[in-house]
Amino acid sequence: MSPSSPQQTGFPAEGPAHTPDSAHTPQRDGAAPESPGAGPVGRRLPVRPDAAARLARVAEASWRPALLLGVLLFVWWLVAWQELVESYLVPSPGDVLDVLADQRSELMSHTWVTTYETLIGFVLAAGIGVGTAVLIVYSKTLERAIYPVILFAQVIPKIAIAPILVVWFGFGMTPKIVLAVLIAFFPVVVSSVAGLRSINPELLELSATMGASTWQTFVKFRLPGALPHVMAGLKVAVTLAVVGAVVGEFVGAQEGLGYVLLASSGNLDAPLLFADLLLMSAIGIVLFVVIELAESLLIPWHASRRDGMALTTT
Amino acid sequence: MHTSTKLPAIAVRDLTCQFFTKRAQTTALTDVSLDIQPGEFISIVGPSGCGKSTLLKIIAGLVRPTAGSVELLGARVEGPQRDVGFAFQRSALLEWRGVRRNILLQAEIRGMDRAQAERRADYLIEMTGLRGFEDALPHELSGGMQQRAALCRALLHEPPVLLMDEPFGALDALTRETMNVELNRIWRETGVTVVLVTHSIAEAVYLGTRIEVMSPRPGRIVRTLPVDLPRERAYGPTLATDVFHGLAAEIRDLLGASSAHD
């Protein structure tokens, strides 16, 4: 066939076997059938969604959880209003909102402290985790040396070593950050190692025939291919980093949401306690969403990130 | 291209290749010798697992033979060769790059002149009918288009030798014929030396200037068949020639005699 009318037979694209690519393609072809007669210009690429369509998708994705949350809030409100449970055990949503409004500035500063510890811990865990994964993947010797130690570090209950960290590092932010790193580090290593190892062997042969250096092979082939796994690990890690920071604050602190939680439960201040819980969850959710956004920017090509894909398989 | 025309593009001498696993030792190739002249198109056919892909990878320096040697363009192959273009069974495109950037990867790694590489990429994109799909990601393309993009990438640096490992095996019959016609044209236009490993007898005869038929494992060359057809070959008429039928029948006999199911 001449170049002006290339073959358009839309057979399932044959992607690398380790990606879900090939599983999705038939659906894609079904959704947008190609016309065999059309030239290259006639076949349109999937259109990037515009703002309105994006908004519609967000709405479509969020109405169910929003509804469920609304129902739960209503039940909470009903329980508190009917005083089915003592108000010092379950405060009304209104009381919690009042606390959030009245003690806004104080709560904000505590939230900031916990966020700061979480973020520093997460960034360190991500850096150390990915770095360790690279060492493990590139050196058999280091793998044998490092992996058992990492596993050992992982099985120690982190909460149990929190008091030691306070003894070592004092009551400042350091023990909280260290705890966040220790908790968040493991999923990053495990997922990054899996990602770096998941490279299609043919790509390594390709890079060899191109004469690529080890560094080029890493930067152009291995690392981009590992990103989907790495991002999955980072999403787990960021929520765990919050836990690490809060647990660190439980053990010894003068500020932060963990400290507020302990104080409010000691005072049986249920509205403050609930407000505090809400703020902790908010940190985790916001950070998680930030990672999700970063993911959609970094790996728009990946199956998990493609628009309008896999509607029947999710 | 090469100045010394007498020098074979590829010289394979007494190649033997064994793989050792925990339980057993497999001999993939035994006593394979080949001389390939510049501009030739060699089709290698053989039953599954006869070591034809291994032979190709040894020529590219990706697999080290147990015994024997390979000379590529007059130099002994000791490690991965940069002077070849390699087309894989699966297109081996980077999922995160569009067609054009996948093709230009070759230039980035080799440190080729950017502007020149881009012109060459545009030429190849035009030649393989990928115009309009420069920015399409691999998953947005059909299997045939993916293989075309991979072919462009393998040709970007104008390699004197193109090694192809069943590149069209995963395509449907119609796409495959189209790709065969395009490959014949690219081969004629560029003068590249091609070694094509294939399962398809029709593909081997239609494209090759010479066909090497291999035996089941341990693979060795059982017959060398010159193809007495002009370099420029129209698809339908070529398949209707007596030469084509004769060769196809002979290959079928050779493969049938040596393996029950291939």
DSSP string, B208-235: -SEEEEEPSSSB-EEEEEE--S-SS--H
Question: Cα A103 to the chain's mean position, in Å?
Answer: 30
User: To 5 degrees, how large is the angle CA A145–CA A150–CA A152?
Assistant: 105
- As given in the structure block, the two tokens for residue A258 are 């963990």
CB contact under 8 A, B140 and A221: no
- Confirm or reject contact between B90 and chain A (CB < 8 A): yes
* Minimum CA–CA partner of A211 in chain B: B82
Contact (Cβ atoms closer than 8 angstroms) between residue B222 and residue B215: yes
Distance CA B208, CA B42 (A): 5
CA dist., res. A247 & res. A158, Å (int)? 9
From the list A7, A24, A220, which residue is nearest B105 (CB)? A220
Residues in chain B: 262
Position A188 pLDDT exceeds 90: yes
Task: State how far the Cα of B157 lies from the Cα of B111, in Å rounded to an integer.
Answer: 10
Nearest CA to CA, how far is B174 from chain A (Å)?
8
Q: Which pLDDT tens digit goes with each residue over B230-247?
A: 999 898 899 989 999 999
- Specify whether the CB–CB gap between B219 and B51 falls below 8 A: yes
Give the closest-approach CA distance of B22 to chain A in angstroms.
19
Q: Where are the domains of chain A?
A: 106-305
SS3 call for B54: helix
Instruction: Nearest by CB to A205, from B62, B105, B148: name it.
Output: B62
More confident position, A3 or B24 = B24
Residues of B in contact with A16 (CB under 8 A): 90, 92, 95
Q: For residues A146 and A128, what is the distance between their CA atoms, to the nearest angstrom?
A: 13
- Among A5, A9, A48, A200, most B C-beta atoms within 10 A, so best to mutate, is A9
Query: With contacts defined as CB-CB under 8 Å, which chain B residues touch A306?
Result: 139
User: Which pLDDT belongs to residue A213?
Assistant: 92
- Of the candidates B215, B203, B205, B158, the residue with the CA atom closest to the CA atom of residue B178: B203
Res A310: pLDDT: 40
Segment 178-217 of chain B within 8 Å of chain A by CB: 178-179, 181-182
What is the pLDDT confidence band of residue A171, given thresholds at 50, 70 and 90? confident
Give the residue from chain B lying closest to A13, CA to CA.
Answer: B143
Distance CA A301, CA B7 (A): 46
Residue range B71-94: average pLDDT? 89
Residue that is written with structure tokens 């220790």 in the block: A182
Q: Using CB atoms, which residue from B85, B109, B126 is nearest to A220?
A: B109
Rounded to whole angstroms, the Cα distance separating A107 from B254 reads 83
Does any CB of chain A come closer than 8 Å to the CB of residue B145?
Answer: yes
Contact B93, A301 (CB under 8 A): no
Can you say how many angstroms the Cα of residue A43 is from the centroid of all Cα atoms in its chain? Answer: 36
Closest Cβ opposite residue A40 in set B62, B129, B135:
B129
Q: Are A291 and A145 in contact (CB under 8 A)?
A: no
Position B210 scores a pLDDT of: 94
Tens digit of each residue's pLDDT (9 = 90 or more) over B156-205: 998 999 999 998 887 888 888 888 998 999 899 888 999 999 989 999 99
Name the residue facing B90 among A25, A202, A212 (closest C-beta): A202
Nearest CA in chain A to B140: A45
Three-state helix/strand/coil letters over A151-212: HHHHHCCHHHHHHHHHHHHCCCCHHHHHHHHHHHHHHHHHHHHHHHHCCCHHHHHHHHHCCC
Look at residue B258 in the predicted model and tell me its pLDDT: 52
Asked whether the beta carbons of B250 and B83 are under 8 A apart, the reply is no
Are the Cβ atoms of A210 and B82 closer than 8 angstroms?
yes
Q: For chain B, which residues make up each domain, given as ranges? A: 1-83+163-177+195-262, 84-158
In one-letter notation, the amino acid at residue B20 is F
On average, the pLDDT of chain B sits at 88
| Parallel, antiparallel or unpaired: strands B210-214 and B67-72 | unpaired
A242, A287 Cβ separation under 8 angstroms: yes
CA distance B254 to chain A (A): 31
Which of A4-18, A126-140, B176-190, B221-235 has the least mean pLDDT? Answer: A4-18
Torsional sign, CA A190, A193, A195, A201: negative
Q: How confident is the model at residue A51 (pLDDT cuts 50, 70, 90)?
A: confident
pLDDT score for A172: 87
ipTM of the complex: 0.86
Residue B260's pLDDT is 46
Tell me whether B244 touches chain A (CB under 8 Å).
no
Report pLDDT digits (tens) over B95-137: 999 999 999 999 999 999 999 999 999 998 988 888 999 999 9
What CATH class is the domain A106-305? Answer: mainly alpha
Confidence of residue B208 (pLDDT cuts 50, 70, 90): very high
In what order do the strands lie in the sheet containing B10-20? B25-36, B10-20, B67-72, B75-76
Tell me the pLDDT tens digit for each residue of A60-86. 888 888 999 899 989 988 988 888 888
Phi-psi region of B68 (alpha: psi -120 to 50; beta: other; left: phi over 0): left
CB B81 within 8 A of CB A206: no
Instruction: Please tell me the CATH superfamily of domain B1-83+163-177+195-262, with its number.
Output: P-loop containing nucleotide triphosphate hydrolases (3.40.50.300)
C-beta atoms of A14 and B105 within 8 A: no
Strand pairing report for B221-226 and B210-214 = antiparallel
Interatomic CA distance for residues A6 and B131, integer angstroms: 10
- Using an 8 Å CB-CB cutoff, list chain B residues near A225: 94-96
Q: What distance in Å separates residue B169's CA from the closest CA in chain A?
A: 11
Quick check: B249 pLDDT over 80? yes
Closest CB to A9 among B85, B129, B174: B174
pLDDT score recorded for residue A83:
82
Q: Report the 3 state secondary structure along chain A.
A: CCCCCCCCCCCCCCCCCCCCHHHHHHHHHHHCCCCCCCCCCCCCCCCCCCHHHHHHHHHHHHHHHHHHHHHHHHHHHHHHHCCCCCCCCCCCHHHHHHHHHHCHHHHHHHHHHHHHHHHHHHHHHHHHHHHHHHHHHHCHHHHHHHHHHHHHHHHCCHHHHHHHHHHHHCCCCHHHHHHHHHHHHHHHHHHHHHHHHCCCHHHHHHHHHCCCCHHHHHHHHHHHHHHHHHHHHHHHHHHHHHHHHHHHHHHCCCCCHHHHHHHHHHCCCHHHHHHHHHHHHHHHHHHHHHHHHHHHHHCCCCHHHCCCCCCCCC
Structure tokens at A162: 């929190």
- As a whole-number percent, the residues of chain B with pLDDT over 90 amount to 45
Asked if the model's pLDDT at residue A43 lies above 90, the reply is no
Put simply, the answer to whether B139 touches A208 (Cβ < 8 Å) is no
Do B142 and A34 lie within an 8 Å CB cutoff? Answer: yes
Answer yes or no: do B131 and A40 touch at CB < 8 A.
yes
Selecting from B85, B91, B137 the residue whose C-beta is nearest the C-beta of A301 gives: B137
